[in-house]
A and B are shown apart, each in its own frame.
Chain A
Amino acid sequence: MSLSHAFFAVIRRDLVLALRRRSEIANPLLFFILVITLFPLGIGAQPHLLQAIAPGIIWVSALLAAMLSLDSLFRSDFDDGSLEQILLSPHPTSVLVLAKIIAHWLVTGLPLLIVAPLLAVFLGMPNHSLGILLLTLLLGTPVLSLIGAIGVALTVGLRRGGMILSLLVLPLYVPVLIFAGNAVQMAGSGLPVDAQINILIAILLMALVLAPMPTAAALKMSIN
């Protein structure tokens, strides 16, 4: 059957699986909300300080939530042999892998976008920077899934790959964190943020093109 049919079948399958398992959607989201609520509790009643560091808090929490959810990307497929069947498909593995990453983002990245405005208001972020916060999350979280996929593909064959995964992946998340955090900060002060947004778009496009192929290659190595 055609490649596009296989592509959408993989996305559909992963979404159905996520809906039937539920915890895959709920856990990263709850983690995201919990980490953000810990900051006001830890820092105390200092609204100005909170407001100043809000973009950083939200973005670091998003990074951590994305990282925690990464393992579910290939783990169950690796354990039950579905991954072998995907690799044996005559369709290019990188395209099928991209489908899995997209499904993973829809399940773990998109929900963060939906709760982020609420949490931003909760931290006292100015209203006019909410739009930019959402835009950076929309452009940045897919990058987290794409880059993370390479790391998971490399470590999925290891029994305890969790720690290595974070050491591998977190440094690669730094550019997204810098430009996204900076954009939200600048928007809060009413400055133009076109440059940061353009760089985020560029990073996203590069990750879309460059990430699936090494992920497919790493999966082939891991399954050995």
Chain B
Amino acid sequence: MQTQSIHSLEGSGLSCIRDDRVLFEELAFELVSGQVLLLEGKNGSGKTSLLRILCGFREPDAGEINWCGDAVNDSPFYAQMAYVGHLDGIKKELTVRENLKMSLALSSPGQYPIHEALAKVHMAGYDDVLAQALSAGQKRRLSLARLLITENVLWILDEPFTSLDKQGIALIETLMTEHCASGGMIVLTSHHDIDLPDVDVQRINLS
């Protein structure tokens, strides 16, 4: 389906200090195409901080992150990653289609066109609905649809299962399995147990 070039994400010696509290120190991981990295830990253990460091929103207090062997800022990292965080990044005054078109304009077109991506997250027919009319779970699906329409290798997901129903969770797990099978990789935090039998899942416990 797509070229199966191998990508890798490495972190070494990472530490994060917040208000004189050490959240984590000397953290190292290596992730290659097809793998999932699941961050575990209790509330306040630095899961989200680590994700935000990976996104470049925060500087790590020590350590470095490399993408395919090069420092993140010297590599096409930002063109190959996508992030879905606590905030869904959806404009409530825009329709579903307009929201996705905006994401597409900010990035490059990926695997699926908009209507197929909406069908995949079971939101077909919602194209012209204003985002403010969507339920919390539907908004979450919409922000996950963004992962499908843009070109990316690495998904960074912060609690992707929040406000999704059982079907929604199963759906996202299927999408994650497909993404890894086609050479993608995922870093995520989750309170739910994830069920990905066909994927190589690494776990890091931060607490």
Contact = CB atoms under 8 A, between A and B. Distances in A.
A10 B98 CA distance: 11
Interface residues of B, number: 31
A152 to B, nearest CB: 18
Interface string A196-210: 000000000000000
A59 to B, nearest CB: 33
A13 interface: yes
Interface stretch (B7-15, B62-70, B75-83): B75-83
Interface stretch (B23-31, B101-109, B163-171, B189-197): B101-109
A80 B81 CA distance: 20
Interface string A87-109: 11111000010000000000000
B98 A16 contact: yes
Nearest to A18: B93
Top 5 nearest A-B pairs (CB, nearest first) are A81-B87, A9-B105, A81-B89, A90-B79, A89-B106
A96 B105 CA distance: 11
10 contacts: A9-B102, A79-B87, A80-B87, A81-B89, A84-B55, A84-B89, A85-B89, A87-B56, A88-B56, A89-B78
B91 A17 contact: yes
B58 interface: yes
Given A9-B102, A85-B103, A89-B107, A80 B94 contact: no
A220 B106 CA distance: 17
A90 B76 contact: yes
A135 interface: no
B186 interface: no
